[in-house]
């Protein structure tokens, strides 16, 4: 197959067809995006970074990720939940991250809500994975036109509504769909991308948390 002849695909330096955005973030494309995440701390990190992503370039957020991790104690939500006004001031003075007061406060709030969610569901993973869409909710083929026009879904809307009901912030339907892509609840690698099959294989053998 010549991936160069299919809209949205390019050929990587390894000679493999892949989504055209891979050139900006090859490691993220090949090893993270669309791969199932069931570790609670990693999951919480993705929730927070998707919140910062809202209205901003994901590439910018991704390249600041290590700095975000240092600033927010590796996204240990039990620790972040205890952050005070002094911590907010410290983070607002940190030029290495995105200094948005509302989003910083949202991380702290969501850390507190995450603890409550663990008490409710047993783990963050168990709660979030209940929103994995049924097969009939997903397209048979993920092409460029579908990818460019699909910004949310019924499952993402359900997730957003449930999170907001529990007091979470910066979790609108578009953010939740982006989160679902990042967590592997959906596999939105373009049909023909070599990572699509790898993600499907991981999803096929994944033990869904309950």
Active-site annotation holder among 33, 58, 129, 147: 58
Residue 147 annotated among the catalytic residues of the structure: no
Q: Which of 21, 28, 78, 146 is catalytic?
A: 28
Q: Confirm if 107 and 54 have CB atoms less than 8 A apart.
A: no
* Residue found by looking up tokens 């406060």 in the block: 105
Asked whether the beta carbons of 33 and 181 are under 8 A apart, the reply is yes
Give, for 17, the enclosing helix (H) or strand (E).
Answer: strand 17-19
- Identify the active-site residue in 33, 45, 50, 177: 50
Is 78 in the active site? Answer: no
Residue ranges for the known binding site for Zn(2+) are: 29, 189, 193
How far, in Å, are 4, 69, 77 from residue 42 at the CA level? 34, 11, 10
Task: Take residue 198 and report the two structure tokens written for it.
Answer: 């790898």
CA of 195: how far to CAs of 32, 65, 187, 203, in Å? 10, 22, 9, 12
- Binding-site residues, in ranges, read 29, 189, 193
CB 55 within 8 Å of CB 106: no
- Which residues, at least 6 apart from 52, have a Cβ–Cβ distance to it below 8 Å? 61, 68, 98, 100, 103
Q: Tell me how far apart the alpha carbons of residues 192 and 41 are, in angstroms, rounded to a whole number.
A: 32
The question of whether 28 is a catalytic residue gets the answer yes
Q: How far apart are alpha carbons 84 and 105 in whole angstroms?
A: 10
Annotated catalytic residues are 28, 50, 58
């Amino acid at each position: 197959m010549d991936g160069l002849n299919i809209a949205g695909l390019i050929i990587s330096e390894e000679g493999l067809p892949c989504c055209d955005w891979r050139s900006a973030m090859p490691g993220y494309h090949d090893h993270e995006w669309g791969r199932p995440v069931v570790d609670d701390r990693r999951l919480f990190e993705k929730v927070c970074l998707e919140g910062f992503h809202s209205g901003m370039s994901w590439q910018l957020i991704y390249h600041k990720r290590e700095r975000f991790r240092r600033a927010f104690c590796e996204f240990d939500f039990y620790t972040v939940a205890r952050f005070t006004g002094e911590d907010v001031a410290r983070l607002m003075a940190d030029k290495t991250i995105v200094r948005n007061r509302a989003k910083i406060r949202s991380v702290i709030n969501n850390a507190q809500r995450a603890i409550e969610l663990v008490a409710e569901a047993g783990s963050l993973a168990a709660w979030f994975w209940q929103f994995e869409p049924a097969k009939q909710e997903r397209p048979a083929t993920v092409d460029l036109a579908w990818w460019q026009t699909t910004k949310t879904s019924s499952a993402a809307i359900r997730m957003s509504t449930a999170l907001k009901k529990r007091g979470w912030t910066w979790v609108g339907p578009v953010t939740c769909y982006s989160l679902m892509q990042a967590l592997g609840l959906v596999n939105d690698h373009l049909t023909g991308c070599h990572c699509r099959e790898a993600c499907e294989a991981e999803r096929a053998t994944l033990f869904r948390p309950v």
